A and B are shown apart, each in its own frame.
Chain A
Amino acid sequence: MATFIDGFLWYFALAVFVIGVSGNLVTIILASRKVDLSVPRDSAFSGALRTLFSRFLPDQHMLSRIGIQVVAGYMFHLGLFILLFFAAPHVAFLEENILGFGWTAAPHWLFIVASQFAFLGIIMLWLYRMTNSVSRLISKLDDHVATILTFLVMLSGCLALLESFETLRLLHRFLVELLLIYFPFSRLMHAFTFVPSRLFTGAWFGRRGVDS
């Protein structure tokens, strides 16, 4: 089982992830669009850049209604980012198995705090999805599967923190591989598509002189 998880399944999952994500992005970028013949009122480029960053801030008029999503969303995403790229075992793994170089890992206390933020964030986001009637209606099975799978990956990783049990490490790695395989076919793709999406919308508005 260990040979399968550390060997074939790992390479298969990685291939599905890389090919799937690349394929999705290429398809989006190369998708045919109508040529805009109107006279531009402003720069599409500056509009694209502005929107890419301005959407990190919530709309002031909506803030009172979307407070939970904004706060919990930032807690989860920032926490997950630190876990993913700055947890000492992850840095070592990336260096040894994929990149060939590493960087300074986060101290243990930061890893713990980041994971606590990420857990609280993902639990609150999922509960909001379930309790708010509009969010519940627009949610598909994919959203729940993606949330639960991400939660299980995080949880199994944290439970294996002592690195004393091979079974826990294998469980974590197996769940990561499932997530990698599922990723390109789910809304988890937003981790990559949010950039071209914002750029496209921003350029479209920018060209028409709309401050978005």
Chain B
Amino acid sequence: MLKQNMVSPVGDILKFLSILMLLVITVISQPTFAAVEGEPEGVIMKNPGADLWREVRQRNIAIEGISQIKSVDSGILINPEADRWTRFRVDQLVNYAAIILAGLALLLLVFYLLRGKIKVEGGLSRQMLHRFSDYERVLHWTLAIVFLFLAITGLTLLLGRTFLIPLFGQEFFSLLASSSKEGHNLFGPIFFASLIMMILRFVKRNIYEKGDLTWLVKGGGIIGKSHVSGGFFNMGEKTWYWIVILIGLLISVSGLILVSPNFGQGRVIMELSHIVHVISAIILIAVSFGHMYLGSVGTEGALESMKTGYVDVNWAESHHDRWAKECRDNNRVISADKFNRLQGKINSGTEESGSVAVEGNK
């Protein structure tokens, strides 16, 4: 029996009687229902349970009732908020997420076709600077791998019903969705842990400083040909870092609320967390497209820093001139030969002096 807190006892009794009456009508109507089976087609029969459930639902807000189960929201039989959340998810989140991600990927493709790879000014110098330690690269790639796994499984859960079922069918998608959910829940906390390690390691070098604004005004050198000054991390990289950290934390906290529903959070908090989680994740995935583009095919020499830990001096001069000057002043420039030896890419006596080996180990 439902009990509305705001009405008088008379109202309660009336409501109880009306529900009871509906129940009786429902039961009595069964033989009638059977009797009309033989009737000619075209006779519209009213669902005998419709009035009952309409009464149970009563109005457009969640009504707290009494239940033997003592837990959060256990007294609410029907939660109309969930309908609104479902409609928002299906009608807007799914569609906009797909449009934003596909649109951005297309935009980057068009940009690449128009602008091409951003070349290093003056070409590669064959002199190298050490930029990232092994630990820093391990951290970066750990976060990247976990992020990609979560993005793929998350998008499967969000968009799969709309886009994958027509391709693979319901049976395969149910298997895919189940494993995506398990994998997503499992790897979520690993992303959070990686994020914390990322904060501890890189936060000091990502605090904004004088000169960063100039970089922003000049569009980071992507727009136009003018040189832009930058330190160890330029304004664009710092902004990407803070986007990863802040939105990553938002995703992590909302994800932890979703994955641990036994800490007293009700349905409304779960629904809000889900919306925050999805919107934040879509933003991060969208911005990560730009990071992946600029860090690989978009900029010559950028990927080397995360592959080998070293960058070409001219690349550093182009994108991080203040840091490059600091390295030069401290005699931290190494030759291509030394770089190749450090990378184990030289067979003694056979190397061509002065060229950087780009292939893997012999």
Contact = CB atoms under 8 A, between A and B. Distances in A.
Given A124-B142, A168-B179, A131 B137 contact: yes
B361 A127 contact: no
Contacts of A136: 344, 361
Contact of A155 (B174, B183, B193, B309): B183
A186 B51 CA distance: 69
A43 interface: no
Interface residues of B, number: 26
Given A133-B343, A160-B179, A162-B178, A68 B186 contact: no
Interface string B138-182: 100110011000000000000000000000000000110011001
Interface SS majority for chain B: helix
Given A67-B135, A165-B178, A133 B186 contact: no
Given A133-B343, A134-B344, 17 more contacts: A112-B186, A116-B187, A116-B193, A120-B193, A124-B142, A127-B141, A127-B145, A131-B134, A131-B137, A136-B344, A137-B344, A137-B361, A155-B183, A160-B179, A161-B182, A165-B179, A168-B175
B343 A68 contact: no
A1 to B, nearest CB: 15
Contacts of A168: 175, 178-179
12 contacts: A68-B135, A116-B187, A116-B190, A119-B186, A124-B138, A124-B142, A127-B138, A127-B142, A131-B309, A136-B344, A164-B178, A168-B175
B141 A131 contact: yes
Most A CB atoms within 10 A — which of B146, B174, B190?
B190
A115 B183 CA distance: 11
Given A123-B145, A131-B141, A133-B343, A158 B186 contact: yes
B125 interface: no
A128 B138 contact: yes
Contacts of B145: 123, 127
B342 interface: yes
Contact of A167 (B146, B175, B194, B309): B175
Contacts of A112: 186
B136 to A, nearest CB: 9
B189 interface: yes
Interface in A86-143: 112, 115-116, 119-120, 123-124, 127-128, 131-134, 136-137
B142 A159 contact: no
A74 B340 CA distance: 32
A119 B142 CA distance: 10
Interface string B221-240: 00000000000000000000
B72 to A, nearest CB: 20
A162 B178 CA distance: 8
A158 B193 contact: no
A128 B141 CA distance: 10
Contacts of A155: 183
Interface in A147-180: 155, 158-162, 164-165, 167-168
A128 B189 CA distance: 21
Q: What 9 pairs across the A-B complex have the smallest Cβ distances?
A: A159-B179, A137-B344, A131-B137, A127-B138, A132-B134, A127-B141, A161-B182, A165-B175, A120-B190
A123 B197 CA distance: 14
A161 B183 CA distance: 9
Contacts of B309: 131
B138 A131 contact: yes
Contacts of A133: 308, 342-344
For A115, A116, A123, A137, the residue with the greatest tally of chain B CB atoms inside 10 Å of its CB is A123
A123 B343 contact: no
Given A112-B186, A162-B182, A120 B344 contact: no
A131 B133 CA distance: 9
B175 A68 contact: no
Contacts of A132: 134
Nearest to B344: A137
Nearest to A166: B175
Given A133-B342, A165-B178, A68 B134 contact: yes
Interface in A18-74: 67-68
